[in-house]
Amino acid sequence: MRSPIKFYLVLAGLLMVACNNNPSKMENKETSQLLIKQEINAPQAKIIAQELENHGDVRVDNYYWMKLTDDQKNAENADAQTQDVLDYLNAENAYKEEMMSHTKELQQSLYDEIVGRIKQTDMSVPYKRNGYHYISRYEEGKEYPIHSRKKGSLDAEEEIMLDVNELAKDYSYYAVGGRSVSTNNKILAYGEDTLSRRIYKIKFKNLETGDLLEDEIENTTGRVIWANDNKTVFYTRKDAALRAYKIFKHKLGTPASSDVEVFHEKDETFGTFVYKTKSQKYVVIGSYATLSSDYRYVDADNPDEAFKVFQPRERNLEYDISHFDDKWFIRTNKDGAKNFKLMSCPEGETLKENWTDEIKHRDDVLLEGIDIFKNFLVLSERIQGITQLRVMPWEGEEHYIKFNDQAYLTYTTTNLEFDTDILRLGYTSMTTPNSTYDYNMKSREMNLLKQQEVVGKFDSSDYVSERFMANSRDGVKVPISLVYKKGLKKDGNNPCLLYGYGSYGNSMDPYFSSVRLSLLDRGFVFAIAHIRGGQEMGRQWYEDGKFFNKKNTFTDFIDCGEFLIKENYTSKDHLYAMGGSAGGLLMGAVINMRPDLWNGVVAAVPFVDVVTTMLDESIPLTTGEYDEWGNPNEKDYYEYMKSYSPYDNVINQEYPSMLVTTGYHDSQVQYWEPAKWVAKLRELKSNKKPLLLHCDMETGHGGASGRFKRYKETAMEYAFLLDLEGITK
């Protein structure tokens, strides 16, 4: 998935800046130096016309030469084409540095205040599993977490499982994924990625001796699932296009070359994964596509037996399964349940004709997930765009957990035990830092375990959050969540950053960000457009923003911008837009359609060369996303996709100031998409407003690893926006 680039939920504090009662009227406003520097010569990529013909239609791509294969990119001696690409990317980075050189002090100040809000010495809320309390903690000044556990009690001696700071010290990028402890608590399996392409090597550590086992498994998704014998694990491999496509079984102490393939997902539009049920009774293999899913399972006590199919795959049948006692619970869209319903079946009778309704389908409620306990069933529902947690005793009166904010995000977290009355949940709003609670489902008492600490003089009452329903051009009401600092005057002169995504059914929820305070305290309004293509308003909201309805995503975002102007939160001279990945596609589309509406745009790792990418099955994610965008090998999809593809629709017109970011090792949106897009914009745009490309030569889709370093790029993005507003401090 070309996943959303969210603003991080991190610990934060309040920057004190010189301002009047209206924080948007800054004392230090000046003329944008970026606009003054417009005359600096920008890099001009060489033009090599490449004709691309499909369905009798010819597209001419002058920058197709930037596209490289992995073999070329990883070769020890780069060929001429590779060197040309590197030269171009380095030239763009140098130009960006020159154009933004006057913001160096501001960038450092922003970085310092963002990092200054983070509690240096911090610890996660411990969770209990199989007799141990598991903890992740940070030490002052260190980038990476330390993962540890305590046996029996939180007062017990700490056992360090992984100090990621030590593991990462020899790498410019390092990420740990998929930590998993054997059922006898003796062996830790984990994945490591040192390139930022989400390809993990699995390693095993003896937690009693501290030694690494000789077992190593390459080219995986990073996680293993333990059978109950403590020696058999299941894991997922990736193919050349980085699709998760095979499940293997590995026995500790044997070479990975002898691992047994237990499942091969041959359909290239599907991916596969493996997990263990909360009951610990079954290991389950799942296969998924946008419009279909299926599962197979094996007894975790007998991992060498053959997996049994739960319900054979059917087009447009989606379901997921949870095991409890002698039953399976199935969340599914069976029988036209667009918003999903809950069904169940006996343990040994899993075919769909044996499924019976537990929670019927509702047109106005999206069933997003379930948590099962010995005495309770908890439903995660989305009603009118807001998440709700519904507690249903197996016997007794049900209820919804109440919260006070107008717009918020709540979610269940780590709930590994069946026999408990305690539900662990998370809660946040645009003015409330992320909070972890234990909720007693019987007494209905809420116990705050931890709230994200904001280092500094932060007071949530200094900020205002609002929620509106904007009219789209076709009469649909589109939610907008926004936040700003108290004292803001709605006179149309406030800078406003509008964020959006709108793909894959991913809902962009109203959550807190300490990073965002650096904008709010300088007078910005921050708004989230909950546009179609997400799933905020139910499954239909998603359906209405994909395939041949994709343009609704773009027009919704534009209409949300117009709404904010109409309501005097901002104006065209002060309205900014931001989105990443598929949200970068959104940015590319809206600047082609309404370039006059935005004073500046930040497009992060943008998916902009839609047609060419979706025609190339060797690129990660392509085949698995035909049910999201359509298959351009079919003429109708090709023509519709071409009609909005940002790269294909760049024309000779004025464009807003833009900052585009990418990572050279990005596996989700390859670097050449934003690089080509910037080159074509430079070739065709009719004005000289700043157009900057930042290519991080060491990272991939998610940016830098570590809890501090990633904010260097955030500080650069914020400095870009602030400079366009003439805010220099």
For 491, half-sphere exposure in the C-beta direction (CA atoms, 13 angstrom radius) is 9
CB within 8 Å of 555: residues ≥ 6 apart: 472, 473, 474, 593
CA distances (Å), origin 137, targets 2, 120, 125, 145, 222: 29, 10, 9, 5, 21
Q: Give per-residue burial for 16-52: e unless 16+ CB within 10 Å, then b.
A: ebebeebbbbbeeeeebbbeebeeeebbebeeeeeee
For 246, half-sphere exposure in the C-beta direction (CA atoms, 13 angstrom radius) is 15
Q: Where are the beta strands (DSSP E) in 628-721?
A: 657-663, 691-696
What are all long-range contacts of 378-384, with beta carbons under 8 Å and residues at least 24 apart?
Answer: 378/412, 378/423, 378/441, 379/342, 380/411, 380/412, 382/507, 382/535, 382/536, 382/538, 384/537
Q: Annotated catalytic residue: which of 627, 666, 696, 723?
A: 666
Residues in the chain: 729
How many Å apart are CA 652 and CA 572, to the nearest integer?
21
Q: Annotated catalytic residue: which of 581, 645, 667, 705?
A: 581
Distance between start and end Cα atoms, the chain: 37
Here the tokens at position 41 are: 């010569």
Q: Annotated catalytic residue: which of 250, 361, 694, 701?
A: 701
How many Å apart are CA 437 and CA 424, to the nearest integer?
6
CB 724 within 8 A of CB 32: yes
How many Å apart are CA 583 and CA 573, to the nearest integer?
22
Q: Which amino acid is at 686?
A: S
* Phi, psi values for residue 552, rounded to 5°: -60, -35
- 581 counts as catalytic: yes
CA distances (Å), origin 204, targets 215, 261, 568, 641: 7, 20, 58, 45
CB within 8 Å of 309: residues ≥ 6 apart: 294, 295, 296
How many Å apart are CA 423 and CA 692, to the nearest integer?
47
CB 33 within 8 A of CB 535: no
Q: Dihedral of the CA atoms 298, 302, 304, 307 (nearest 10)?
A: -10
- 666 counts as catalytic: yes
Say how far residue 69 (Cα) sits from the centre of its chain. Answer: 25
Integer-rounded Cα radius of gyration of the chain: 26
Q: Of 580, 583, 588, 598, which Cα lies nearest the Cα of 676?
A: 588
CB 167 within 8 A of CB 174: yes
CB 729 within 8 A of CB 718: no
- 61 counts as catalytic: no
Which residues does the annotation mark as catalytic? 581, 666, 701
